[in-house]
Structure 1
Amino acid sequence: MWLVILYLLFGDAQSGLSTVTGRIENVINERTTLIENEIKMMFGSDINLSDSEEKVNEIIMNLKHEELDIGFEEPQLFNVSKHFFEYKDEIKKSKLFQLIKQMPKGAILHAHDTGILSPDYVLQLTYWENLYVCFEGDDLRFLFSKSIPTDTCDSQWQLLRDTRFSSGDVEIFDAKLRKYFTLVIDKPNEVYTDINLVWNAFQNYFIRTTSLICYKPVWEQYFYDVLKALREENVMYIEIRSTLPELYDLDGNVFDSVVTAQSYKNVLDRFLVDYPDFYGAKLIYAPLRMVDASTVKNYIEIAKEIDYTIPGFLAGFDLVGQEDLGAPTKEFLEELVEGRKYLQYFFHAGETNWNGMSTDENLFDAIVLGTKRIGHAFALSKHPILIDEIKKRDIAIEVNVISNNVLKLVDDVRNHPLASFLAQNLPVVLSSDDPGIWEADILSHDFYVTFVGVASRHADLRLLKKLALNSLYYSTVKNKDKLVHEFEIRWTRFIDSVIKNSW
């Protein structure tokens, strides 16, 4: 009798244990399946890696996981969760950053011309001959002239060369002057306390440097050096946004927007002769949006004239400036509907934290107007209908992670909506907006911050390669097969070099 009882007790226990174990296994299997399905859906999951790429992927992921694991265990050490100014130089020591810097990155499709090069570069421009400076309170103005300018100055126009060398200490003078060419400061969150304050400082950079960079010889040298810097950072093509300001020279000539565009094309042609391995550039005419409808109509006429005068060089049209304070796109619907007969659109839209406001609704206008790409689209994650439209219409999202951090849209990039875009495999292209103004590398910082700070821990070399390829696929280059083929050659060289150098 006792044997029967013991058998029943232990038999039931064994059976119960087996049942519990089975349930746990089912949960684990379901969990594993969900994770695997999400990874298969992720941006870059359609990329198949070669054996050599797999070896490099292992190297990259070891470096990435090492940085992430340290940050997970000691969050205060995770640099990219902070303001960009606090870690921009520190991450240059990272082996992963150095590897990404060497990586072919395809194209830049969202960058504003005079915000690309560093404050050190702009400072060197102040050593050019015939440059005058006017100090006005806490600010200053520049002007190239053969003699003392007659323009109004609250103090007096001074030849900058003389002012510099009579200052008593050129190094200190230049250090003070350099501060006018950067947003970078100590304790940025205490100084730039809201989006309007940082945007005011941002826009002042462009106002301050206009007469410096719009001197025609400087303008052309600046663009040449932009192209050179792109090439050095393994970028092979750019679609550069410009307001196309009037240029001037020492003889009193002032040149309109069409001539400004032509100067860009002339510089490009010269650069391609000097560096035939660079693929090229196109122009997106992107004037300011804080205007009335008649001005936008005039903008479109200028764009049409550029397209007629310089065939094949104009990629399209955009409107720029702080969206929250600028006129909403809907105020220009009549002009823009007419303009799309002649132009492709690449609108900034949704560069905001607001939901349901006019800035946010610029996303709707951009899509219905047939935009080919959307600049920033920061607010897109709040609009499931628009996400579906983005997919259906294959509209690329031009994401600028560091810009969004510096300009007060997101404090911790781990919370950037790009994380959601990547998880849903939306058509993303990565760019850098105005990297010179916040002292970032032209594109490497944005790739690194995206890879380490925004993307999933599981995101690997496939994501990096897909980001580079997307920048080519969503460009306006007609012969994309040739462009992609050239990229693949460079990518293979990169992969081989990483293996050879035993990273």
Structure 2
Amino acid sequence: MSTVTERCQVAKSRLATNATKESDSNEYNEDRQQLVTDDQKRSWDWPAKSSASLAEQRARKIIFKIREHERSDPELFGNLPGENVPDARSRDMGGRFLVNLPKIRLSKIYAIARRIPKGCHQHLHFNSEVSPEELFPYARNASMGGTMFIRSTRPLLNLDDYEETEIVFNVLPESTTNANIFSDKYNPEWKNTTNSPWMLWKDFRQQFFGRVPREAQTEGLEPAESWARHKMVITIDHTYNQNQTHNGAWACFNQGTRAFKGLLGYEGIYRWYIGHAIDRMIGDKVMYAELRPMLMDKTMPSDDGLRQLGHKEQMSIICEEITKKKEELKRNDQLDQFPFGLKIIYCAPRSIPRQRMHTELEDCLKLKLQFPDLVCGFDLVGAEDRPNNIGFYADLLTAFTKTCDELNISIPFFFHAGETLLDTGGSHHPENSNLYDALLLKAKRIGHGYALLKHPELVEKYKQQNICLELCPISNELLHLCGNAREHPYPQLLAAGLHCTLNADNPSLFRGNATFSSSLSDEFYQVIVGDPRMTVHGWKQLAQWSIEHSCLGADDMEKAKEIHARDWEEFCEWVVSEYGEHAASLPELP
């Protein structure tokens, strides 16, 4: 019997022999390459990869090389030279969005993302395409001096009051009693009809004595405006401070939306907003959008506060301004940039009583009958970790669908669902997840779908029913569902075979102290730096799905696909022309 020593010698000899043989063999590498190829053919973006033009294939290589070099560039996202341990100046590509924002704006990948033909924007809340600093000059205008008011939840007597208060704006008649928010006698009670808590915004700006944090100071705005803006947007401190919570982030967001509403909710600015929002989307290479207005308030004031415009008047303004913009584009031979106008998804909060929901559904039907080409869907909105779940209104929503069928009209559901970590529909019970109700009520798309991977059966059924997910990665990060783009489940959702689109949700509130919002460009940038498997082909597939799952009619959808295909090829050729030499000058990647 051989000794252990002898057997060890034999093992050593045989390992050396086999290692030599294996090093001369390509079998393992061939098997591995075949496995990679098979995996890629099963990938969600394979249809785009397999049909890629030569320009697109070249663009993919260029973008990949630039991205990976930017990942290690110390001026952008790499460690600083000679430092093994990152310091406060270091950034991770795909890391926290607001922290990275100054670096992102210097990135060539971001410059490329801005030029992507993005198709359709499906999940954009109505008041969120234009930033606060664009609205304050209108509120400051002499014509609004006697009618733009501000209300505070407490008198502003010291610096703590400035930090803790919540503010809202409103347009009221000049005859409104003018309160003084800076007085210790100020009464913030607004439901008491004998008290007026409203102070003229003009007077507030003149008397303002609060401290404006350096990071909140905004060029072109007065101190009071910069202070108010800082309370309206999600900033680095608001979302990343060590004491912030998921509910706290939502509270900041809700405060911002309430303040924002009054700055946009009057006739003159409302009319201006539509054309300006379209211009912003054209600049971001979006050809069509479906906006989500909250229509709980049934009227909106005129600039003098003396008239109230109902839903019909508001929708008429939208239609008129869409028509004006399309005529302008047509005169300039630019109609292909935004050929289909806008549509509206009627939104109601899921927190309201059932009888009020019944009224909202009635009003949605009424607007659809009055504006059949404008109103395209219905949604329930609000934080999902608070009551009620969609199922609370299931019988009303089912009756709504039957009524639509009987009237021969289409108002599909686009529910916010799965925008949560708990996924219990605002209850203690997981079976109350809104993802179940969205499926049973035959939603056409769902907003976010972040929690869907918790439900293997629902994943399959969502695919069977062709329910598209409206992904909003930046929104999910800033509201504390994930820490950054690299932690977001979008790669897994896509790998599961679910159709998805990219959306900016509330970009005017979600871009921190930046005074420029590129909306969808930021989302396209985030997904390509958040997952190294995302390529130009993935960008293309997401844009194509945004068209396929839109509310465009059959003829418009075909035209949209033709325009996008043309624009996509031009984009790829531009990437090759603009960045080909730069990519070639970079060292080869290991």
* TM-score, scaled to structure 2: 0.77
CA distance in 2, matches of 1:393, 1:458: 27
- Aligned with 1:307 (options 368, 375, 381): 368
CA distance in 1, matches of 2:133, 2:243: 22
- Equivalences for 1:163-202 in 2 at 5 Å? 163-164=204-205, 171-186=222-237, 188-190=239-241, 193-202=244-253
Structure 1 residues 105-162: Cα deviation after superposition (integer angstroms, max 9, x where no partner)? 1110001011222232233333233223344432333233451524877646444335
Q: Are 1:17 and 2:18 counterparts? A: yes
- Aligned with 1:348 (options 393, 397, 416): 416
- Equivalences for 1:283-294 in 2 at 5 Å? 283-294=344-355
- Equivalences for 1:3-82 in 2 at 5 Å? 13=14, 16-17=17-18, 21=22, 26-47=27-48, 48-69=51-72, 77-82=90-95
Do the aligned residues in 2 keep the contact of 1:318 with 1:348 (CA within 8 Å)? yes
Match of residue 315 from structure 2: 261
Match of residue 470 from structure 1: 545
Query: Are the structure 2 counterparts of residues 183 and 15 from structure 1 closer, same or farther at C-alpha, using a change threshold of 3 Å?
Result: closer
Match of residue 6 from structure 1: none
Q: How many residues align?
A: 492
Q: Are 1:490 and 2:531 counterparts? A: no
CA distance in 1, matches of 2:176, 2:24: 84
> Where does structure 2 lack aligned partners over 5 or more consecutive residues?
1-9, 155-164, 187-196, 213-220, 405-410, 512-516, 581-590
Aligned-residue RMSD, C-alpha: 2.8
Q: Which one is further off, 414-423 or 150-159?
A: 150-159
CA distance in 1, matches of 2:384, 2:29: 47
- CA drift at 1:477: 0.3
- Aligned with 2:116 (options 103, 119, 125): 103
Q: Which one is further off, 80-89 or 282-291?
A: 80-89
Structure 1 residues 60-107: Cα deviation after superposition (integer angstroms, max 9, x where no partner)? 111122234566888954435433221123201100100110111111
Match of residue 3 from structure 1: none
Q: Are 1:369 and 2:441 counterparts? A: yes
Match of residue 392 from structure 1: 464
CA distance in 1, matches of 2:25, 2:381: 55
Do the aligned residues in 2 keep the contact of 1:41 with 1:425 (CA within 8 Å)? no
Structure 1 residues 138-193: Cα deviation after superposition (integer angstroms, max 9, x where no partner)? 23332334515248776464443354356699743332232133111437322662
Determine what percentage of the aligned residue pairs are the same residue.
23
Q: Are 1:248 and 2:249 counterparts? A: no
CA distance in 2, matches of 1:436, 1:57: 31
* TM-score, scaled to structure 1: 0.90
- CA drift at 1:53: 1.6
- Equivalences for 1:103-502 in 2 at 5 Å? 103-128=116-141, 129-130=143-144, 131-137=148-154, 138-150=165-177, 155=186, 157-164=198-205, 171-186=222-237, 188-190=239-241, 193-244=244-295, 245=297, 246-249=299-302, 250-276=304-330, 277=335, 278-279=338-339, 280-341=341-402, 342=404, 343-355=411-423, 361-439=433-511, 440-453=517-530, 455=531, 457-478=532-553, 479=555, 480-502=557-579
| Partner amino acid, structure 2, of 1:161 | K
Do the aligned residues in 2 keep the contact of 1:44 with 1:425 (CA within 8 Å)? no
Query: Are the structure 2 counterparts of residues 328 and 286 from structure 1 closer, same or farther at C-alpha, using a change threshold of 3 Å?
Result: same
SS at match of 1:352: coil
The structure whose residues are more often helix, as a share, is: 1
Q: Which one is further off, 190-199 or 101-110?
A: 190-199
| Partner amino acid, structure 1, of 2:126 | D
- CA drift at 1:374: 0.8
Query: Are the structure 2 counterparts of residues 145 and 292 from structure 1 closer, same or farther at C-alpha, using a change threshold of 3 Å?
Result: closer
- CA drift at 1:447: 0.5
Do the aligned residues in 1 keep the contact of 2:179 with 2:199 (CA within 8 Å)? no
SS at match of 1:458: coil
CA distance in 2, matches of 1:109, 1:75: 42
SS at match of 1:436: coil
| Partner amino acid, structure 1, of 2:415 | F
SS at match of 1:287: strand
Query: Are the structure 2 counterparts of residues 125 and 75 from structure 1 closer, same or farther at C-alpha, using a change threshold of 3 Å?
Result: farther
